[in-house]
C-alpha cells in the first residue's frame, strides 16, 4: 500500500483535497506550485496543471532537438 491509498492530502500550500498522484518536487515547482519535501502528492486539479506544463515542455524540447 502506498501513501495515496492510505489517504494522504495534497502537498500544495492551502489545499486540503485528497491526493491522486505523486510527482517529483522539482516537476511540481517547475510547474509553479508551492510544495516541499521529496515527493509532491497532488490532487486532481494540481496534477492537471503539472501535466499541462510537462506536455508544453515536451513539445518545446521536440521542436528544439527534433523527434
Mean pLDDT of 21-37: 96
Grade residue 1 by pLDDT with cuts at 50, 70 and 90. Answer: confident
For cell 528544439, what's the residue? 64
Confidence at residue 64, expressed as pLDDT on a 0 to 100 scale: 93
As to burial, measured by CB atoms within 10 angstroms (0-12 exposed, 13-18 middle, 19+ buried), residue 15 is middle
Q: Whole-angstrom Cα distance, residue 50 to residue 17?
A: 16
Amino acid at each position: 500500500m502506498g501513501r495515496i491509498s492510505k489517504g494522504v492530502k495534497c502537498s500544495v500550500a492551502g489545499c486540503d483535497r485528497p491526493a491522486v498522484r505523486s510527482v517529483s518536487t522539482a516537476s511540481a515547482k517547475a510547474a509553479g506550485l508551492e510544495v516541499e519535501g521529496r515527493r509532491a502528492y497532488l490532487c486532481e486539479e494540481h496534477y492537471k496543471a503539472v501535466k499541462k506544463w510537462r506536455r508544453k515542455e515536451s513539445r518545446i524540447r521536440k521542436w528544439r532537438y527534433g523527434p
